[in-house]
Amino acid sequence: MSDQFAAPAPPSDGIDWSAHNGALLLIDVGDTDKVNTSFGEKDAVRANVVILDGPDAGTRHDDTLIFPKLLVSQLKSRVGQKVLGRLGQGQAKPGQKPPWILAEATDADRQVGVAYLANGLTAPPAAPATGKPPF
């Protein structure tokens, strides 16, 4: 007899953006959220994120919250879509850290994204998820 129940996913520890600076990301944008944090209510985007190149290529962050303000602004109008872009940093304002941004994918980046999608989104191992139901 086969087991019809899946085990709960372990909680997500989020994404360390600095560890993926310069990496090609495929972001499947699920929804927008307002989240209460220790800094007050913040806008966030809930998404599945896959690192497509670099030392962590194939790493998935399923059902994760994205908080960096400029990333949120780039993704919130893309709910239900897949966004391909290269993670980088913009210009810092005085006294602040540089913001995280997505640069538009090049033709070579698009080829990597298409090749990954052709594999049915099943090749890389999944990273821990938040435990919330998928969107």
Q: What per-residue confidence (pLDDT) applies to 93?
A: 93
pLDDT band at 1 (very low <50, low <70, confident <90, very high): low
Q: Is residue 134, in this structure, part of any structural domain at all?
A: no
Range of the structural domain that residue 101 is part of? 17-118
Q: What per-residue confidence (pLDDT) applies to 4?
A: 84
Q: Is residue 28, in this structure, part of any structural domain at all?
A: yes
Beta sheet of 40-51, edge-to-edge order: 60-66, 40-51, 24-37, 82-89, 100-104
CA 23 – CA 20 distance, rounded (Å):
5
Q: Is residue 125, in this structure, part of any structural domain at all?
A: no
> Model's pTM, two decimal places?
0.79
- Which residue type sits at 126? A
CA 55 – CA 52 distance, rounded (Å):
9
CA 13 – CA 59 distance, rounded (Å):
13
Q: What per-residue confidence (pLDDT) applies to 6?
A: 77
Q: Is residue 1, in this structure, part of any structural domain at all?
A: no
Q: Is residue 85, in this structure, part of any structural domain at all?
A: yes
Q: Is residue 102, in this structure, part of any structural domain at all?
A: yes
Number of domains in the chain: 1
The stretch 98-125 carries a mean pLDDT of 84
Q: What per-residue confidence (pLDDT) applies to 68?
A: 95
Q: Is residue 135, in this structure, part of any structural domain at all?
A: no
Q: Is residue 59, in this structure, part of any structural domain at all?
A: yes
CA 61 – CA 38 distance, rounded (Å):
23
Tens digit of each residue's pLDDT (9 = 90 or more) over 37-86:
888 999 999 999 999 999 999 999 999 999 999 999 999 999 999 999 99
Mean model confidence pLDDT for the chain: 86
CA 74 – CA 83 distance, rounded (Å):
9
Tens digit of each residue's pLDDT (9 = 90 or more) over 102-111:
999 999 999 9
